[in-house]
Amino acid sequence: MVTLTLPDGSQRAFDRPVTGIDLATGISPGLAKVSLAIKVNGEVIDLSQPIETDSSVEIITRGKGNPEALEILRHDCAHILAEAVQTIYPGTQVSIGPAIESGFYYDFYRTDGGTFNEHDFPAIEAKMHEIISSSAQFTRKEVSRDEAIALFSEQNEPFKVELVEDLPEGETITLYSQGNWTDLCRGPHAPTTASVGKYFKLMSVAGAYWRGDVSRPQMQRIYGIAFEDKKQMNSHLTLLEEAAKRDHRKLGAEMDLFHMQPEATGSVFWHNKGWTLYRTIEAYVRRRQQAAGYEEVKTPQLVNRKLWEDSGHWDKFRENMFTTGDADEDSDLALKPMNCPCHVQIFNQDLNSYKNLPRRMAEFGSCHRNESSGSMHGIMRVRAFTQDDAHIFCTPDQINSETKSFIELLKSIYKDFGFEEILVKFSDRPENRAGSDETWDLAEGALRDAIEAMGLPYEINPGEGAFYGPKLEFVLKDAIGRDWQCGTLQVDYVLPERLDASYIDNHSSRQRPVMLHRAIVGSFERFIGILIENFEGKFPLWLAPQQGVVATIVSAADDYAADVQTRFAKAGLRFELDARNEKINFKVREHSVGKVPLIAVVGEREAEQGTIALRRLGSQRQEVMNIEEAIKVLSEEASPPDLR
């Protein structure tokens, strides 16, 4: 007898092992038709797999926007893509093809030396539709390691052979077939290829080294999207079009903010306007931190490996660090990937008392990390970056109050930058970590107590904590609904112990402080990229790197225009002069492309009357005002939020 308990608490009893499709059919034929898989005691399996013991079950169906259903359909789509590619391009070798957010990808190796491009997509998509229409069953088969290796060796699939060989001893090896095409896969899959439907689209091709190793073959990764219905897919395509218009790389070039080039991979060349934006943000954050009681410090870029060994970074983070590679370990230096061990060194220079805790130490710290070339993306993911990094050294009973103060500061800063919707994620202990389980229990408990004391809702992000402590991640939602993880707060009992940090308590005893690692904007480079895309380059006046331009209509107004620009500059307004011998409509169009917020138009009449005709970006309307009034109004509007 097998008893299955459904989510509503009702039960179904069977006198034999039962499959998910048996259960769905027994409930209703309509349910069986839309069922994709079944969740048994929390594990998603195929509808065809037998359930042999009493279990809690949930049938996963299509048509309800269920993320688990979409993941199955997208994984199915990856397999169908691989079959289509190998059918059209015989000899192409396959490697991996997972479902990802919004879609799927599959990595291929062309033995004929050919390359895929977007012109190939219509033929591949047509073949995919053909495979879907065949309603081929996805069938699961468990095999031995030797059987799997023999099969993929015979098919000349070396990447699959390597994957099988690397599986742990004793792990169940499963193959999935659709028709005559077979892949190594854990599953689950829908009952047939027809379940995928027709709402998918191939999007792009990218390079990806096998297993992320630059010394291994370079694969060709084909990306696609897949949805349950046309409305969902069209909405996503509209979002992608909007995102393309806002792409920070495109706007960065149009607005003359920055550029990047191969001679400095992963580093940013900031142009004057981009650096003005950078310094405006830095000055604002500096003022907010100073007002919140932070001391600002600056620590070295190159630090001996001994400190990184003592802190644990050499063991846990070494592959992401740039080092001098000196054979002499005593002189082997590393460019710092983060600032925390250096801040502990400053803390340790003083005889700290409980009376001067909490001690809040901030740095606009320049860091370097050895990111793979394939992972970099404009200024969003770089190798050289600056963080608004800070560390709070405090006693255990100050964790709650410091967490509260930090989150209030963070929310206020995000609001000033235009972000009011914030999601909080709680990331607990990762597999690769330092410190004992008891220490992690203490740190996770302290952070959980602090966030719950604020009544702030949060999601669990399992296993994504730092190697030295759990963390809160603060996720922003931008103008078109995309999520961006920026700020973090981490509770750390490990580094103070490893680096011998201490303070004297009220009984004159030596104690370890707790170290709170925190950032608000995170990487300045990434945050600026987010701001560019969020505002589509149309920054609020206080942030705009070029706030306006004084543009002449006729050359007779050149001297007056120059005087206006000088007076604006003396008032702290970032206006440039455009006295070129061009028509005013040409100037307006050009500066609109550059996303300049204000154009002060001047001609002979304005020169005679001491006025300007002010046009705002995106508006045809002009405001005529005298210079003193304009300076007063615009100075107030351009003032940073914390100085108003």
The set of catalytic residues is 340, 369, 387, 389, 391, 471, 517
216 DSSP 8-state letter:
S
Spatial distance between the Cα atoms of 175 and 581, rounded to a whole number of angstroms:
71
Handedness of CA 552, 553, 555, 561 (dihedral sign): negative
Q: What does the DSSP assignment read for 406-461?
A: HHHHHHHHHHHTT---EEEEEE---SS--S-HHHHHHHHHHHHHHHHHTT---EEE
| Backbone angles phi and psi of 582, in degrees to 5 | -130, 155
Instruction: Tell me the three state secondary structure of residue 337.
Output: coil
Instruction: Tell me the three state secondary structure of residue 343.
Output: helix
User: Do 458 and 426 meet the contact criterion of CB atoms below 8 Å apart?
Assistant: yes
**Rg (the chain; Cα; Å):** 30
Per residue in 342-360, is it b (16+ CB within 10 Å) or e — as a string? bbbebbeeeebebeebbbb
Spatial distance between the Cα atoms of 108 and 20, rounded to a whole number of angstroms:
34
Spatial distance between the Cα atoms of 280 and 404, rounded to a whole number of angstroms:
27
User: Do 533 and 248 meet the contact criterion of CB atoms below 8 Å apart?
Assistant: yes
User: Do 620 and 588 meet the contact criterion of CB atoms below 8 Å apart?
Assistant: no
User: Do 173 and 184 meet the contact criterion of CB atoms below 8 Å apart?
Assistant: yes
Handedness of CA 22, 25, 31, 35 (dihedral sign): positive
What long-range pairs does 601-605 form, CB within 8 A, spacing at least 24? 601/551, 601/553, 602/550, 602/551, 602/552, 602/553, 602/557, 602/560, 602/561, 602/564, 603/552, 603/553, 603/554, 603/556, 603/557, 604/553, 604/554, 604/556, 604/557
Handedness of CA 600, 602, 607, 609 (dihedral sign): negative
Instruction: Tell me the three state secondary structure of residue 5.
Output: strand
Please name the residues in contact with 300: beta carbons below 8 A apart, sequence gap of 6 or more. 336, 342
Q: Are strands 269-270 and 258-259 parallel, antiparallel or unpaired?
A: antiparallel
Instruction: Tell me the three state secondary structure of residue 68.
Output: helix
Spatial distance between the Cα atoms of 548 and 133, rounded to a whole number of angstroms:
58
| Of 48, 36, 120, 34, the residue nearest 81 (C-alpha) | 120
Q: How many CA atoms lie within 13 A of 19 on its CB side?
A: 12
